[in-house]
Amino acid sequence: MCFKEKNVKLPEVDTSDHSFRITTQETVDDLMDSIGHVGLLNLPLLLEKKSRYIILCGFRRIEACRRLERLDVKARILDSDTKKLECARYAITDNAFQRPLNLIEKSRSIRMLSNFFSDHRRLSQEMSILGVPCHESIIAKIKDICSFSKPLQNSILSESISLAMALEIHKMSKDVKDGFVKLFNVLKLSINKQREIVTLIKEIALREDIPMAEILEGLHLKRILNDEDIDKNQKTRKIRSYLKQRRFPAITRAELAFEEHRENLKLGAGIKLIPPDNFESPAYIFKFSFKDLNELKNLKKIFDSLIENPSLKKILG
């Protein structure tokens, strides 16, 4: 790298040009404390462009100096004819050797390099050379997430929304996207439960011929999400139950009727009656638990009496 060091007036630094920004971190309080006490140890790298300078490395350092009301900043300056590929490499390397890059930062790096390497295999090699190992199969998945909405990106970083679900949600309309981001940020669900809820809402929308946003913005979901008297696990159970009831009303009615009749049977601890999945089969299962022959004999008496129980007859139709 060929550069010169010089003091640059801060107003001459174009802080609006984020062409080479990798970092997602925006807070600078820690840097302000450090720079205020010991000065700027790692100089920013700038690209000279006529009467202004473009930041390649050091966005937060420049911002910290600006907030400290510094008039100028010492920086490393690259010549204006430095190739863009070299600029991209400097930006990625500077960040990668400070810390592991998160998914959004990797995505920004990939998007930056994809201007020069269209082949994912070559991109993967280049990323590894620059200190960001990234398999070509991952490149295909994360290349575009840096262009997602800011709330969705933040949800990926906080792990409130899995990458797989974020890729699906991104394709949806803005109001639906925002609705799922809000929902999942509150509930903090596993990927399987996220997928279940998205599927249920999609199917309800199709079944009732209404927009998905109408379900997400419905009063019932809002009441559950805004209920401060229940924790996120209780909210999750209530929301899943509500969506299942709305999606499968016939199954829900069958489940409620079964539970009522099963309760009337007063089975006790040693006998369980298990219904068929989604009541799609006529086959029910009785399960017996016993420690010795006497317990088994007692269970047999109970079972014999169940045969004539009206509630069992109602269950079996």
Whether residues 116 and 27 fall in one domain: no
Per-residue H/E/C for the chain = CCEEEEEEEHHHEECCCCCCCCCCCCCCHHHHHHHHHHCCCCCCEEEEECCEEEEEECHHHHHHHHHCCCCEEEEEEECCCCCHHHHHHHHHHHHHCCCCCCHHHHHHHHHHHCCCCCCHHHHHHHHHHCCCCCCHHHHHHHCCHHHCCHHHHHHHHCCCCCHHHHHHHCCCCHHHHHHHHHHHHHHCCCHHHHHHHHHHHHHHHHHHCCCHHHHHCCHHHHHHHHCCCCCHHHHHHHHHHHHHHHHCHHHHHHHHHHHHHHHHHCCCCCEEEECCHHHCCCCCEEEECCCCHHHHHHHHHHHHHHCCCHHHHHHHC
Would you state the pLDDT for residue 84?
A: 93
Phi/psi-derived region of residue 48, left when phi > 0, alpha when psi is between -120 and 50, beta in every other case: beta
Residues 276 and 119: their CA atoms lie apart, in Å, by 51
Yes or no: say if 247 and 200 are a contact pair by the CB < 8 Å rule.
yes
Residues 184 and 239: their CA atoms lie apart, in Å, by 12
Q: Which amino acid would we find at residue 283?
A: A
For the chain, give the number of residues.
Answer: 317
Cα-to-chain-centroid distance, residue 142 = 13
Whether residues 80 and 49 fall in one domain: yes
Would you state the pLDDT for residue 185?
A: 95
Yes or no: say if 213 and 199 are a contact pair by the CB < 8 Å rule.
no
Yes or no: say if 44 and 58 are a contact pair by the CB < 8 Å rule.
yes
Average pLDDT score, the chain: 91
Assess if residue 258 is contained within a domain: no
Would you state the pLDDT for residue 283?
A: 86
Assess if residue 290 is contained within a domain: yes
Assess if residue 192 is contained within a domain: yes
Whether residues 64 and 110 fall in one domain: no
Assess if residue 128 is contained within a domain: yes
Domain with 46 in it: what CATH number?
A: 3.90.1530.10
Whether residues 49 and 123 fall in one domain: no
Would you state the pLDDT for residue 1?
A: 63
Q: Which domain holds residue 295?
A: 264-316
Q: Which amino acid would we find at residue 16?
A: S
Would you state the pLDDT for residue 199?
A: 96
Structure tokens belonging to residue 127: 């990323």
Assess if residue 252 is contained within a domain: no
Per-residue pLDDT tens, the chain, 317 aa: give them.
Answer: 677 899 999 999 999 999 999 999 989 998 899 888 888 888 999 999 888 999 999 999 999 999 999 999 999 999 888 999 999 999 999 999 888 999 999 999 999 999 999 899 999 999 999 999 999 889 989 999 999 999 999 999 999 999 999 999 999 999 999 999 999 999 999 999 999 999 999 999 999 999 999 999 999 899 999 999 999 999 999 999 899 989 888 777 777 778 888 888 888 888 898 888 877 778 889 899 999 999 888 888 888 888 888 888 888 87
Would you state the pLDDT for residue 311?
A: 87
Whether residues 107 and 93 fall in one domain: no
Whether residues 230 and 289 fall in one domain: no
Assess if residue 256 is contained within a domain: no
Alpha carbons within 13 angstroms on the beta-carbon side of residue 282 total 3
pTM: 0.77
- Domain end position, chosen among 65, 99, 133: 99
Strand order in the sheet with 72-78: 3-9, 72-78, 45-49, 52-57, 13-14
The total number of structural domains in the chain stands at 4
- Domain end position, chosen among 146, 168, 201: 146
Q: Sort 264 into a burial class: Cβ within 10 Å, 0-12 / 13-18 / 19+.
A: middle
Whether residues 201 and 170 fall in one domain: yes
Residues 302 and 290: their CA atoms lie apart, in Å, by 13
Yes or no: say if 24 and 102 are a contact pair by the CB < 8 Å rule.
yes
Whether residues 234 and 175 fall in one domain: yes
